[in-house]
Amino acid sequence: MRLAALFVLTLALTASGARLLAQGASPAQQHADQALQFAQQGDLKSAESELRKAVELSPGDSNFLTSLGGILGMEGDLRQANTYLAKAVKLNPQDPASRRNLAANQWQLGQLKEAHQNLDLLLRANPRDKIATFLLGMVSEKEKAYARSAKLLESVPDVLAQQPDGWAALANSYYHTGRTENARAALQRLLSPPANPRTVFLGGSIAMDALDYSNAETLFRSVRSSYPDRAALESEIALAEYRSGHVAESERTLLEAVKANHATSSGYVLLCRMLSAEGSDLRALRIAAQAAQAFPDSSDVLSTKGSVELKLRYFKDAVASYQKAAVLKDSAGVKRGLATAQWNAGLREQATSTFEQAMRQFPRDAQTCQVYGTLLLEDGSPENKARAVNLLKHALDLDQSATEPRYQLANLELTDGNPQQALAYLESAIKLDPNDSRLHFALSRVYRRLGRDSDAGKETEIYQKLKAAEQPGARNDAAGGTHP
Amino acid sequence: MRNRAYSVCAAAAALVGLSPHTGVKATENLFTDVTASAGIHWKHTSGESKDCFLIEAMGGGVALADFDQDGWLDIFLVTGGETPHAKSSTPPRNALYRNLGNGKFEDVAAKAGVERLPFYGMGVAAADYDNDGFPDLYITGYPSSALYHNNGDGTFTNVTEKAGVSNAGKWGASAVWFDYDGDGRLDLFVANYAKFSLDGPQHCSYEGQPTYCAQTAYEGDAPRLYHNNGDGTFTDATTQAGLSKLIGRALGVIAIDVDGDGWPDLFVARDASPNLLLINKHNGTFEDAALSAEVALNMDGNARAGMGVDAGDVTGNGWPSFVITNFNDEHHALFVHPGHFPFEERTVQSGLASLTRSFVGWGAHFLDYDNDGNLDLVIVNGHINQVIEHTRRDVSYREPPLLLHNDGRGNFQNMAPLAGPVFQEKFRARGLAVGDLDNDGRTDIVFTRLNDSPVLLRNTVAEAGAWIGFQLEGTRSNRDAIGAKVAVSTGEQKLVRWITAGGSYLSSHDKRLIFGLGQNAPEQVRAEIHWPSGQVQTVSGLAIRRYHKIVEPR
């Protein structure tokens, strides 16, 4: 429970209020006193039971209702808690405790509008209500009103000291308002003194979302020995390492996680992708096979295995993996992978059928059209070429930001002796991706055919510069190991 | 001459039937492996070792030339050599197989004095550099190369030092003889591969298994151009010709007039370096036009692993197109000459892409195996990574050769089902040379295998078309007439062929030209000869189905 302390505070206040009345010692009050004792001992169930008796005996007493709502909230039953808290507020609209707790629960239940209204009322009544200020800051963060959230949360540092989740929310608001250094400072507060591991993990996740990978890595690493879900943690550490460019470390983290049986399915998937990207395809396949055993119901794992098999040109195996993945979770990506594997395995009819099915099922998926179109160009037959052109054009209609269909269509126009049409495709593609060396190389070919030799020369120079930047130096790869 | 009257098994003929695409009645295999019956037993030595020196995987070459001028084409085969941890029990040796004219060959390398090399051997270029009527041998290798002068008496003399063509310190691959300055004497271009040393092996592994490093582990080198001074010596003209800055991993080379100006140009296939198209500027220099001619790279702007190269008029338009053999997944490339620059890459459209996707190609040559008038294509393949099959199920270490039939428009069809058992088998093939070994007007094939014997394939196409052959002898031009262009008119058709030098990989071909004339050829044809000297000679009334020796008018 993120806001357990608030409720304990409320119960204490309620109880002390009740104690003032204890001279009369009504039976309801006696149950409330008993509840207080149970709550202090941590026996929430008994406390709840005692308070229910008190409410039953004295249903119009807002204090008992507030206390019962508080205990239910501490037990995690926010909806039931809110029933009692709402009654309490109705009976005593001026009581800030019950309204505060109601707002806190509403925030946690995602009832942001209601929470916001209650907190506005509290702050109108008492602008110095720090808890209400804090809660409105948290609600504002959820509402993506990051500037207001940051302003509210940074105004109550003493509450944040009690509620470290607030630092995480404040950091998120800072990130979203471009105040990265402030965000990092806020997250630093989770480390010293060390906050609850779950809160630190939350902070790490916020840093990840903000692409602040090294900070995320620091936060995740700090709870390595205490965070209960080790698999999720290791997966996040590896992802942070990977995204901050520490590929070798990331790979090591994941390999150790795999070895210690601490890998999540997403961790396995990331590891496979890393190994495959660096050309260690057989290792990637071994890991993928292990992942498929550990997570036989994960479509992501199976489609990743399929993609590694596809790269290794184990086409029939890839077909089998993608087929299983498609049964578990059909997606455009899985269908596309399956069709590509079928195509390369020589199952052209099946591949065609899968592609056609994918295009019916996911009519807005541009990539499927593009991949299908590109494959159809392989054999150079006029029929397939005509279909390929239609598919590539359709892919472009679906995704105007795509460069690949433009590139393919430009090459086709060039081959067909239509440099002017090729020019149009390439010029727009280069606007979208000026650093793709292929586009400049193709454009130089177009200019040459248009007799624009000077422009061709310029494009060749750009191509050469971009290509030089892409080229690795002398490498000790094995022959055949790095070829596509 | 071989007996061409084949006894046809009726059942086999019915089974194989008429090939619908080629028009060739295939009653027997198109090619027959006659290696053993010809008495060819020599084996190449690569020095294959645990050190995995890349050079072990790259050789060797083969040359077809009539060394003793007895009218029959002989075969010279280059061995590799030893490496520090792979010593042979007997010294590695080359072979010079003298063609006895009866289908048999006799190894006379020792007697001829070309048996042993003082370096690790790679390729060979055969031509008559001193115009004395006998073909000489330039043998490339590491760390030097050698020129053997043919004495005309069955022996050769190593004249490397005197000639000044040792290519010292270099790893020479293919070499080509051509007359780049039009002085009537053959000059020499050597494609150097990479900076290399047998002292320090580079270590690479593939999925945990030691294997050869990729080419990118080796820095490329510049080619070398030797100008023939005409007195038995040569001058290194590399820098003067503007070639010294062309650093890259060169492997294959062919000399041919690409731009139709009558001067020989060079196409150099390079491995993970852009190919070169060296245009002869008529002043002793060359300009690389590969990028603007669009033959340097693939369509994505990437350099492929160019190994072998050949040129020929595959579309019937009178211009030379190029084939370049590459690595698996890169496709062996076809650049069609449209009559002007740039070239058109028709790798996919020609069918070559799908036919060659799984192969690592080496030697390649355009030949009209069925004499139908269209230049077909033979390619030999073989991977260099011994453990490639651990990861690739569609690529094998040993690979089959390809015989591809041309429909006349530059579209190719795999003839493997008809070509003969060799085209269904898998080899570690490298060098490839073609020529008419039995003088029957049908082109035969020889290819080399790493660490193994060569394969001699006799052309046994049963109903090949008519043909006419030419042996040209230059007088003002170089005696071999390298660089000559011959156009044969049959009435309907005009066929254009060139006497090229180089072509394929590490190898040297029969310099006679055979024109396939198809099934409906007239009894006489007319030929127009463009001599390297610039003279144009027209000869009419030439009878078909025979060779004609034509001497350049003085």
Closest chain A residue to B220, measured at CA:
A474
> What amino acid occupies position B427?
F
Instruction: Return the biggest CA–CA distance within chain B.
Output: 66
Residue A4 has pLDDT above 80, yes or no: no
Q: What residues have CB less than 8 Å from A435, skipping those under 6 apart? A: A466
Whether A474 sits inside 8 A of B388 (CB atoms) is no
Contact flag B385-A411 (C-beta cutoff 8 Å): no
**Token code pair at residue B415:** 């003839």
Among chain A residues, the shortest Cα distance to B54 is held by A479
Can you tell me the mean pLDDT for A326-346? 93
Residues A85/A91/A94/A99 CA torsion (nearest 10 deg): 10
Three-state secondary-structure class, residue A474? coil
Q: For chain B of 554 residues, list the mean pLDDT of each consecutive stretch of 10.
A: 30 31 58 98 95 94 98 98 90 97 98 97 98 98 98 98 98 98 98 92 78 89 98 98 98 98 98 97 98 95 96 97 95 97 94 94 98 97 88 87 97 96 98 98 98 97 94 98 96 91 97 96 95 97 97 96
Alpha-helical regions (H) of B168-260: none
Residues B391, A281: C-beta atoms closer than 8 Å: yes
Nearest to A296 by CA among A259, A328, A255: A328
* Position with higher pLDDT, A268 vs B243: B243
> For residue A121, what are its two tokens?
């009322």
Is A484 in Cβ contact with B329 (below 8 Å)? yes
Q: Region A341-350: what's the mean pLDDT?
A: 89
Q: In this complex, which of B203, B300, B353 lies closest to A378 when CB atoms are compared?
A: B353
Residue B130 forms contact with A (CB below 8 Å): no
Distance separating alpha carbons of residues B451 and B353, to the nearest angstrom: 29
The answer on pLDDT for A5 being more than 70 is no
Is a pLDDT exceeding 60 seen at residue A8? no
pLDDT higher at B225 or A477: B225
CB contact under 8 A, A483 and B329: yes
Q: Which residue of B has its CA nearest to A313?
A: B392
Whether B340 and chain A come into contact, CB under 8 Å, resolves to: no
pLDDT-derived band at A381, boundaries 50, 70, 90: confident
**Start-to-end Cα distance in chain B:** 33
Q: DSSP per residue over B435-477, as a string?
A: E-TTSSSS-EEEEEETTS--EEEEE--TT--EEEEEEEE-SSS
Task: Identify the DSSP state of B217.
Answer: G
Tell me if A253 sits within 8 A of A243, measured CB to CB: no
pLDDT band at A312 (very low <50, low <70, confident <90, very high): confident
Q: What band does A6 get if pLDDT is binned at 50, 70 and 90?
A: very low
Spatial neighbors of B255 by CB under 8 A, at least 6 apart, are B176, B177, B178, B180, B189, B264, B265, B266, B482, B483, B500, B501, B502
> Cβ separation of B213 and A377 shorter than 8 Å?
no
Residue B143's pLDDT is 97
Nearest chain A CA: its distance from B35 CA (Å): 31
- pLDDT tens across A394-427, in order? 999 999 999 999 999 999 999 999 999 999 999 9
pLDDT for position A484: 31
Q: Is A478 within 8 Å of B212 when comparing Cβ atoms?
A: yes
- Cβ neighbours of B121 (radius 10 Å): 30
Q: Give the CB-side neighbour count of residue B296, counting CA atoms within 13 A.
A: 20
Please enumerate in sequence order all residues whose Cβ is within 8 A of that of A320, keeping only pairs 6 or more positions apart, or say none: none
Strand spans (E) along B89-152 = 95-99, 105-107, 120-127, 136-142, 146-150
Burial, A33: exposed, middle or buried (Cβ in 10 Å; 0-12, 13-18, 19+)?
middle
Residue B470, beta-bridge partner list: B513, B548
CB contact under 8 A, A481 and B351: no
- How close B343 comes to chain A (CA, Å)? 11
Q: Which of A385, A431, A427, A433 is nearest to A410 (CA)?
A: A427
What pLDDT does B19 receive?
38
B297 touches A: beta carbon within 8 Å: yes
Per-residue pLDDT, averaged over A37-60, amounts to 91
3-class DSSP assignment, residue B25: strand
**Contact in structure between B254 and B266 (CB atoms under 8 Å):** yes
Sheet order of strands, B321-324 included: B309-312, B321-324, B333-336, B344-345
Note whether B291 contacts A460, CB cutoff 8 Å. yes
pLDDT value, residue B408: 96
Helix, strand, coil percent content, chain A, rounded in steps of 5: 75, 0, 25
Minimal C-alpha gap between B390 and chain A (Å): 9
Q: What's the pLDDT at B65?
A: 98
Peptide bond into B60 cis (omega under 30): yes
Tens of pLDDT, residue by residue over A198-255, are 999 999 999 999 999 999 999 999 998 899 998 899 889 988 988 888 888 888 888 8
pLDDT of residue A169: 96
Pairing of strands B466-473, B513-518: antiparallel
Phi, psi of A202 (to 5 degrees): -60, -45
pLDDT for position B24 = 45
Is B326 in CB contact (< 8 Å) with chain A?
Answer: no
Among candidates A438, A479, A482 on the partner chain, residue whose Cβ is nearest the Cβ of B301: A438
* B200 and A CB contact within 8 Å: no
Cα distances (angstroms) measured from residue A101 to each of A69, A131, A135, A436: 8, 10, 10, 56
B121 in helix, strand or coil?
Answer: strand
Residue bearing tokens 């608001």? A173
Across chain A, what does the average pLDDT equal?
A: 89
Q: Regarding predicted confidence, which is higher, B462 or A8?
A: B462
Collect all residues of chain B within an 8 Å Cβ-Cβ radius of residue A311.
Answer: none
d(CA A456, CA A462): 10
ipTM for this model: 0.87
What size, in residues, is chain B? 554
Using alpha carbons, select from B307, B203, B298 the residue that is nearest to residue B249.
Answer: B307
Residue type, A291: A
Helix (H) or strand (E) holding A358: helix A348-361
Residue A407: name the closest of A375, A381, A443 by CA. A443
> Is the Cβ–Cβ distance between A59 and A43 less than 8 Å?
no
| Residue in B428, B374, B383 with CA at minimum distance from that of residue B404 | B374
CA distance B315 to B292: 22
Burial status of residue B543 (CB atoms within 10 A of its CB: 0-12, 13-18, 19 or more): exposed
